[in-house]
Structure 1
């Protein structure tokens, strides 16, 4: 019969280990799902709500503009449509316009409550989608009637449609697009592709509030200018828009009363703050999710292609277009295979990130060019009475996009003014994304080139001109097309072991190890090693917290990874902690070799080239390590409180005894002398059993 007094703590220890492994497996599977989440469903679950939250308030503002001003204009002789006399709208137009605005406001409020988690997804989404569709259909009906001869007064030459009519067109189009996009979001949620909630960060949820604040600020400012300057209200909206966006056309569009000028001083400052908040939130969106998802997609595609291209006969792997490297598992130890995989994965990571940066730049540049060219085309047709050519329109659009605003050309038509307000606000996120992507590519390239040029001319590095030129040549060679080695070195385990020992020995001299040394003096070397291990874990957690603050995120070399993996119990030298390599990389069924697969159903194992590699995923390397180290530290604390002495006295993965043994073997002469001084006082402890 089994002794209950022994079986209970033993079973407790086994369950603790199993729970830890299961928790790690669940965490790895969750991270894998998040990392491989297809970009189209990320767009539906995150990007679409943000688009709706950003453009919904803008459409509401346009609806207000369409409601507050008459839709028809009488043009007296010698006047233009911009200076004509407004004609009263029929009551049915005002009523339908008001109902449309009410539907849109309800939809936006529902969307805002859903984003702030005050209204459930199942309730908010139908209200939001229905509200936007109804607002759109009602405005479309009004626009259709207003465009017909039933509404327009003859003769056509002496009558025109006001800016309010064109604001109604813009609002109807935006409502319809938002409703269609949110319908796609609801479809994905009810199909189970993601949770029935908006997975937005705090900064993303506030984007809608910031957009609302900007539009309210613009409309209220227009009220002040229309009263103080005697402008038509929608002309004042046009003025406040290019004022807040710092375009400033000048000419006739300047405040002339002292009241308006005095108001402009605080109004412009507040506008800069509001626009800056919106731009900051948009940039955060791109950095937090857009870049992350694009990088994940590119990395996974390149990884799969690289694994599928392994050729055992030529011992090569294709990691890019015309980029082959030596890759073979034959004749290598498991540790050498792991190091080879690490360096290959690092190369794939570098190439994928480079492609991601330039692809993002190409997309954002294309969007900016389309905004420029299409905007110029519309300005050319709207300003046909002024005789604008397409070149003049291109010039005007370019000056406006860059917020230069000379004022030599300014739109005067009702259609041109309304479209300019929408077009210039659309330019804010477009140019923000473009500038952000240029910062990762073009601007960074110029910055690096300037620093390098300075180092070989007037500002040489401390290492000298020759060293700088040699380093530059090495960087050029690393990007050369052709056969290149993966970068691993045979027999490097001794060097990594030495680095690990040096790093651990650096902690020996710290006074906080007094308790561990005291245990060693009493001959309890295991207790000393356990305390030493716990101390090292705490110290490394502190170091990783510093590394997380680095920008860009810090990347560790293979020897550093060996050290950290050993601390969390995944020794690179111990094959039991990771997968066994496949005997043949190429498969007969034509599928990619599953190098990352674990043997024996041990799902917690991984390969450097597998999907669960620390170099994959949404976390940076310091974040990945910090999460594992803190988990290991928590597990150690639970183990120390276990009622089973065998569990408490388990041998840690590192030890001070090992340090002493390494130094006695004479592996490193210079470091041995220094480190022997640090641990010299431990020699008198009588470690004869070590």
Structure 2
């Protein structure tokens, strides 16, 4: 209760806003991934001396960093270093309790922050005190890998504290609750990361004992080995080390693959749950905002006077019933896109610039003109360059969605565009992360290796590229005491990112190349029947040109009497039904549907449930056509109760029976596959029918003499009981 009173807004059930969702979910997982890495670096800093003495006062080639002899550290430094490592472990422990629910958020997370601040602060204090009171004694003495491991551990501990503080700020502001509802992928990522770093640190300890290397060098070797880079600067020299490598590398690759797989799934979930849905929502809002279904809506959207008659007519190219739109401008309909170019109207009112023309309802129909005004804004508006004019021009390009099928196809287009955007967005993010790590890593390596290698920035770019792709030629490798610790941290972040990049490229670039190859084969070595027709159908301009040309040829050849046997067939074998014939068929189909009895629909329902259940195993997931959805909708709705029958179901079921294809209740926006959604609705329809039949049977048992009266009164519009 105290938490609710003090943090009264911190009880919302979900994060408000994309940024706060990132703070509530991604930040704790990143911190849980960084924590074990900090512990490994702290262990290396504790067991390694922080200063080494180089032979020949550091003169090359004998004075390389690998030839340095360790200098004993003062006892106070070792004690404080151990305390820092203990604080780091404690911070990870409480963070894990926070995730598993073993401790309350308001207790566990502040303790994690406090312990990590202590771990980072102690390491910073040690390095500062050591540089002041135990300064380097000349050019032959330098800081060791242990020192730089401590520096990097302090930086990462502090970074973890900062992001956890951001997470707590969001909680205090009430953007998300304190409970962590982790899914399986997120739990797996945390556990696998801990196992991987435990394996890395433990393997380094074993190689130190078997090969006689320092722990820092053994940790560097274990990192290069598990990541399959293999520079060759370190390799086992004993049979025991080679034998242990068999066991160590097999399980190391397994752990690495599991971590990378979990990171890939987590990155995909981030896009699917928030970013992609946000993009799809904006696309739907844009579509709905530009949608018109008849002339009255078009006039209202453009600010034109309403029709004199109250009947809403269907938009037609060049004609409309009642008052024509051509009086105000040029209307062009291309596919489902409606473009209206407004005519320039002369001022007809008083005032210096002329008052705006008003429609019959008094609403503005054209933007104000200010031809005589010297005001810059009015002049820009008069020229059509103001923001208001540009917004008005954008509103003139609308979407004509007259029928339910048009809305269905518009939603399919939104889905396809969102899927393409998702792929290229993921590829862009992976390429950006790869580029940042590559270019910044090359800069750090150039500076850190300048004394020993003296390589150019381009050569370090080459080294970074070879390392990121795990090629590892061995012609270049880090040799300095700062280069090796930095390479460990850099590679552990970079290699998984490169793997995700390659996966995204396989789903975008490689898929595009495959589609282009198949399309080329359809037109060349493996001609595909119907390829030309599909190409023409996807290019409306070319299709209209060919239709006009064909019509012109028919006019030149003269009109021919059609063979009665060919009625209903086009020249190329397609259907060619006159509008009146289509209406007759549509009417007969409606009569057939109306004539279907409830028993017929129940039999169809059973068959459809069986077919849809088989679609659940389809890979990729089944996407149904509009005619299939019409059939599903009929079977879902036939068991819906009617208000006349008095059987009113729960209000929640209304959204499952009636929906808008572009609205929030669209089946295409469900978190499950279309087959699963349809199967659930069909089963609910069968349940409603069974429940209604059972209720009707009980009524008949009570009053058998009114059987016929109840049967007639209980029928709905579709003829079902």
1:109 corresponds to which of 93, 107, 113? 93
The answer to whether the 8 A contact 1:296-1:617 is kept is: no
Per-residue CA deviations over 1:391-413 (Å, capped at 9, x if unaligned) read 11000000000000000011100
Rounded to whole Å, the distance in 2 between the matches of 1:73 and 1:479 is 77
Tell me which residue corresponds to 1:143: 127
Q: Does 1:625 align with 2:678?
A: yes
Q: How many angstroms does 1:563 deviate by?
A: 1.8
**How many residues were matched structurally?**
556
The answer to whether the 8 A contact 1:244-1:272 is kept is: yes
Rounded to whole Å, the distance in 2 between the matches of 1:435 and 1:152 is 47
Rounded to whole Å, the distance in 2 between the matches of 1:231 and 1:628 is 66
The answer to whether the 8 A contact 1:296-1:618 is kept is: no
The answer to whether the 8 A contact 1:382-1:416 is kept is: yes
1:359 and 1:479, CA in 2 relative to 1: closer, same or farther beyond 3 A? farther
Rounded to whole Å, the distance in 2 between the matches of 1:269 and 1:324 is 64
SS of residue matched to 1:434: helix
1:643 and 1:605, CA in 2 relative to 1: closer, same or farther beyond 3 A? closer
Q: Does 1:417 align with 2:480?
A: no
1:280 corresponds to which of 261, 271, 286? 261
Rounded to whole Å, the distance in 1 between the matches of 2:177 and 2:150 is 35
TM-score of the superposed pair, with normalisation by structure 1:
0.72
Rounded to whole Å, the distance in 1 between the matches of 2:116 and 2:396 is 53
Equivalence map 1:211-360=2 (5 Å): 211-250=193-232, 252-310=233-291, 312-313=298-299, 314=331, 316=337, 327-328=399-400, 332=402, 336=403, 338-360=404-426
Q: How many angstroms does 1:429 deviate by?
A: 3.0
Q: Which of 225-234 and 403-412 deviates more?
A: 225-234
Tell me which residue corresponds to 1:407: 474
Rounded to whole Å, the distance in 1 between the matches of 2:22 and 2:55 is 51
Per-residue CA deviations over 1:263-313 (Å, capped at 9, x if unaligned) read 111211111111111111111112233234221111111222233345725
Rounded to whole Å, the distance in 1 between the matches of 2:112 and 2:24 is 15
Rounded to whole Å, the distance in 2 between the matches of 1:124 and 1:219 is 26
Q: How many angstroms does 1:62 deviate by?
A: 1.1
Per-residue CA deviations over 1:621-651 (Å, capped at 9, x if unaligned) read 3343334334444444554554874699866
Per-residue CA deviations over 1:649-688 (Å, capped at 9, x if unaligned) read 8669988x99xxxxxxxxxxxxxxxxxxxxxxxxxxxxxx
Q: Does 1:612 align with 2:665?
A: yes
1:634 and 1:90, CA in 2 relative to 1: closer, same or farther beyond 3 A? farther
The answer to whether the 8 A contact 2:291-2:398 is kept is: no
Q: How many angstroms does 1:120 deviate by?
A: 3.3
SS of residue matched to 2:637: coil
Tell me which residue corresponds to 2:494: 427
Structure ranking higher on relative contact order (CA contacts 8 Å, 6+ apart): 1
Rounded to whole Å, the distance in 1 between the matches of 2:460 and 2:498 is 19
SS of residue matched to 1:286: helix
Per-residue CA deviations over 1:119-147 (Å, capped at 9, x if unaligned) read 3333322222222222222222223334x
Tell me which residue corresponds to 2:31: 52
Rounded to whole Å, the distance in 1 between the matches of 2:541 and 2:439 is 39
Rounded to whole Å, the distance in 2 between the matches of 1:83 and 1:111 is 40
SS of residue matched to 2:52: strand
Tell me which residue corresponds to 2:530: 467
2:136 corresponds to which of 133, 136, 153? 153
Equivalence map 1:449-460=2 (5 Å): 449-458=516-525, 460=526
User: Which ranges of structure 1 fall in alignment gaps of 5 or more residues?
Assistant: 1-32, 481-488, 509-524, 577-597, 659-690
Q: Which of 92-101 and 617-626 deviates more?
A: 617-626
Rounded to whole Å, the distance in 2 between the matches of 1:479 and 1:136 is 67
Q: How many angstroms does 1:217 deviate by?
A: 0.9
Rounded to whole Å, the distance in 2 between the matches of 1:357 and 1:501 is 46
Q: How many angstroms does 1:470 deviate by?
A: 3.9
SS of residue matched to 2:70: strand
Q: How many angstroms does 1:478 deviate by?
A: 11
The answer to whether the 8 A contact 1:76-1:158 is kept is: yes
1:345 and 1:408, CA in 2 relative to 1: closer, same or farther beyond 3 A? same
Q: How many angstroms does 1:498 deviate by?
A: 9.4
1:617 and 1:130, CA in 2 relative to 1: closer, same or farther beyond 3 A? farther
1:351 and 1:290, CA in 2 relative to 1: closer, same or farther beyond 3 A? closer
SS of residue matched to 1:327: strand
Tell me which residue corresponds to 1:69: 48
Rounded to whole Å, the distance in 2 between the matches of 1:169 and 1:493 is 80
Rounded to whole Å, the distance in 1 between the matches of 2:583 and 2:122 is 73
1:479 and 1:559, CA in 2 relative to 1: closer, same or farther beyond 3 A? farther
Per-residue CA deviations over 1:402-450 (Å, capped at 9, x if unaligned) read 0000000111001100000111110133123322322331111112223
Rounded to whole Å, the distance in 1 between the matches of 2:213 and 2:590 is 75
Rounded to whole Å, the distance in 2 between the matches of 1:495 and 1:416 is 78
1:378 and 1:46, CA in 2 relative to 1: closer, same or farther beyond 3 A? same
Q: Which has the larger radius of gyration?
A: 2
User: Which ranges of structure 2 fall in alignment gaps of 5 or more residues?
Assistant: 1-12, 57-61, 293-297, 300-330, 340-392, 544-576, 645-650, 701-709
Q: Which of 636-645 and 184-193 deviates more?
A: 636-645
Rounded to whole Å, the distance in 2 between the matches of 1:502 and 1:289 is 48
